Amino acid sequence: MPFDDTIAAIATPPGVGGIGIIRVSGPLSEAIARLLYRSPKGEVPLKSHRLYHGQIISPATGAVLDEALITLMRKPRSYTGEDLLEIQGHGSPLILEAILTEVIRAGARPAAPGEFTRRAFLNNRIDLTQAEALMGLLTARTSRGLDIAHAQLQGALSRRIEAFRRTLIEILATLEAAIDFSEDDGGHAPPDCAAAQLGDVSDGIRELLSTCNEGVMIRKGVSAVIIGRANVGKSSLLNRLLGENRAIVTAIPGTTRDFIEESIDIHGIALRLTDTAGLRNPDNIIEKEGIERVWEKLSAAELVILVLDGSAPLTGEDHDILEKTKSHNIVPVINKADLEHLLNDRELQTWLPDAEPLRISAKTGFGIPALKENLYRRLTGEQAEQAAEIVITQIRHKTALEKTIGHLQQAQASLANAMSFEFIAFDLREALDSLGEIVGVTTSEDILDRIFSTFCIGK
């Protein structure tokens, strides 16, 4: 899809850096390069995909803006599929803004968020899953998230979706031939394997759907609150999970007043841990405010790590916490396993009849690996025995796959009941449209606007 305008933006993050990059894409890219670039060798040919060293000047005054490297990538062998210019200068915000100003004076316009990648998509350089994978690379919270984004960028999900679409297109072509030549001798009837093929596609889509919960958690992360009465070892547990002394630990109750938030990587899921104030009758208004905020934080948490002191019987404060958290997704932990166990396990079981608390020692590290495994299982379910090669990370993909399954089920039922081919063909077309939404074959402008608006300017 040719564009008649040229866009430009600073492609490197805000702030001071070693280098800064200005990206220009569109039909004026080469003209802008020749206008702003001055080579120490005089006139140069500006061959495609070559780096050239020289100066960037203001055409109006001849003033030197920066010493830079430029490269011109002619269409279609560029990121956007159109002529693309990159100016690599020093990473000063003032320099970059000055160069960008001259680029815009030369005929470009400021790019919208994600507009470079949107042009790459519209020019068939990438499909929509690969465009989303680029954002996944930029925002990955764990190495597992990075691996998933790399796989999608290389087309792993696209190939799986296209394989489903090819199978459905083959079945649909046979059905449409049978509809068009209904008075023939029946040679265009659906093949005997059509039902099995539809079943295989449905099974493959369900397999993808089974990865969605884990995929969304890997992309977005999960919030977990560490809660318990004062001095049960919440801050010590946070430090042990992080592997560093992030929270202050003392024997004085009420040490933790403000929230301390850090993330850990548990098998590829970024678990955002929040250490909270000890829940007890507050001594002052500051501690009272901190405890009230704990309950607010608790209501928004996806996981609650409830810490109890194994070296002492349950207290009234423990009872109050157990009562108020019983409707939450709780992982109960009995800390201080390095001390004599004085907590009444039978009493605790009456409060937590369906849970098996883990005994740990935040001081020595005993039980911490088992706790991490328990947290992972609680988040992903028992089916997460091994990492899937292709993982669904977008709710948009999940919705489209669920719609596809619904249409395929209707098509299978119509085929089994020997319904008219028109009914089966209709559902197969709907299924193909739903799959097409994922890779961008059948995607509305509203969806494209929503996806690319989340990108940064310059990407």
Taking the C-alpha atoms of residue 309 and residue 335, their distance in angstroms, rounded to an integer, is: 5
Residue 17 has pLDDT above 50, yes or no: yes
* Cα–Cα nearest to 11, from 24, 21, 19: 21
List of residues 6+ apart from 124 with CB closer than 8 A:
81
Neighbours of 424 (CB within 10 A): 24
Give residue 337's pLDDT: 93
Give residue 423's pLDDT: 87
Mean pLDDT of 416-438: 89
Mean pLDDT of 406-432: 89
Determine contact, residues 82/26, Cβ cutoff 8 Å.
yes
Question: What residues form DSSP beta bridges with 52?
Answer: 70
Mean pLDDT of 234-253: 69
Mean pLDDT of 235-257: 64
Whether the CA torsion 147, 150, 154, 156 is positive or negative: it is positive
Supply the pTM of this predicted model: 0.77
Determine contact, residues 421/242, Cβ cutoff 8 Å.
no
Residue 247 has pLDDT above 70, yes or no: no
Stronger pLDDT, 84 or 298, i.e. the higher one: 84
Q: What is the pLDDT of residues 178-231, one digit of tens each?
A: 776 655 554 455 556 788 889 999 999 999 999 898 888 888 888 888 888 888
Whether the CA torsion 254, 260, 265, 267 is positive or negative: it is positive
**Mode of pairing for the β-strands spanning 330-335 and 303-309:** parallel
Q: What is the pLDDT of residues 18-41, one digit of tens each?
A: 999 999 999 999 999 999 999 988
Stronger pLDDT, 56 or 440, i.e. the higher one: 56
List helix spans (H) across 301-344. 316-325
**Mode of pairing for the β-strands spanning 64-73 and 51-57:** antiparallel
What domains lie within the chain, and their CATH numbers? 7-126 (3.30.1360.120), 131-211+392-439 (1.20.120.430), 220-380 (3.40.50.300)
Give residue 422's pLDDT: 86
* Cα–Cα nearest to 268, from 147, 136, 389: 147
| Maximum mean pLDDT: which of 167-181, 284-298, 310-324 | 310-324
Residue 360 has pLDDT above 60, yes or no: yes
**Mode of pairing for the β-strands spanning 303-309 and 222-227:** parallel
Q: What is the pLDDT of residues 119-137, one digit of tens each?
A: 999 999 999 999 999 888 8
Mean pLDDT, the chain, whole residue set:
86
Order of strands, sheet of 222-227, starting from the edge strand that comes earlier in the sequence: 260-266, 269-275, 222-227, 303-309, 330-335, 358-359
Residue 284 has pLDDT above 90, yes or no: no
State both tokens at 262.
């850090």
State both tokens at 212.
């969605």
